[in-house]
């Protein structure tokens, strides 16, 4: 009887590892940017081509940077949530319009609503690379000192918003 205990223990350990592995999402690659200052940029603002925006303009505020594009399907899924959040006015939301065409982006906002204080235009995706963007939509929570505190890869869900982003933002504002 005892001679079967060891293989059984090893087998159970293996099952445990595999079960844990099944719960992981391989598409979610942890960002090395969390806890680091948000990369600087200066980009033209969508619909106001003569204006420029830099993340340093938001110093002193806790804000969301949402990477979106009109060609992005899951952006449409999270969009109502952002529109609703913007109406509550708890967190300023800024958009990074990623590898998009200006006219398409404007039409998209007109159709689905514009939750953004403003959106900056990253037409060739270079700033996206600086932010480690690999799957739009992605959202960054940035604190008053300009440090990235949280990154959501993929669409924001109500659960992520309620359980992670909003509590963290509230704590950062204090």
Partner 1 sequence: MKTLLFIAFIFFSPPGNANEEQRIRQLEEKLRCLVCQNQSLADSGAELAGDLRRQVREQVAAGKSDEEIIEFLVQRYGDFVRYEPPFKASTALLWIGPFALLLAAGATLVVVLRRRRNAPEEPALSPDDKRVVDRVLGPQDRA
Binding site for partner 1 (CB under 8 A): 26-27, 29-33, 99, 124-126, 128-132, 134-135
> With respect to partner 1, which residue has the nearer C-beta, 58 or 136?
136
Nearer to partner 1, 76 or 99 (CB): 99
Comparing CB distances to partner 1, the nearer of 27 and 174 is: 27
Task: Give the nearest distance from C-beta 50 to partner 1 in angstroms.
Answer: 27
As beta bridge partners, residue 63 has: 142
- Please say which residue, 4 or 50, places its beta carbon nearer to partner 1: 4
Cβ at position 132, least distance to partner 1 in Å: 4
146 in Cβ contact with 35 (< 8 Å): no
CA distance linking residue 62 with residue 50, whole number of Å: 26
- In whole angstroms, the minimum distance from the beta carbon of 92 to partner 1 comes to 24
**Quick one: CA torsion of 87, 88, 91, 93, rounded to 10 degrees?**
-10
Distance of closest approach, residue 128 Cβ to partner 1, in angstroms: 8
Q: 96: closest CA among 62, 73, 124, 61?
A: 124
């Amino acid at each position: 009887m005892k001679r079967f205990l060891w293989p059984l223990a090893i087998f159970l350990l293996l099952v445990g590892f595999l079960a844990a592995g099944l719960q992981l999402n391989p598409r979610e690659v942890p960002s090395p940017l969390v806890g680091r200052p948000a990369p600087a940029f200066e980009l033209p603002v969508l619909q106001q081509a003569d204006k420029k925006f830099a993340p340093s303009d938001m110093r002193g505020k806790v804000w969301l940077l949402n990477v979106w594009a009109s060609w992005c399907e899951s952006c449409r899924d999270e969009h109502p949530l952002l529109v609703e959040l913007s109406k509550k006015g708890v967190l300023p939301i800024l958009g990074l319009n990623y590898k998009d065409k200006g006219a398409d982006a404007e039409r998209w906002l007109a159709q689905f609503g514009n939750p953004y204080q403003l959106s900056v235009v990253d037409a060739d995706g270079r700033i996206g690379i600086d932010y480690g963007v690999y799957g739009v939509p992605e959202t960054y929570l940035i604190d008053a000192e300009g440090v990235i505190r949280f990154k959501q890869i993929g669409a924001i869900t109500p659960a992520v918003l309620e359980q992670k982003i909003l509590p963290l933002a509230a704590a950062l504002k204090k």
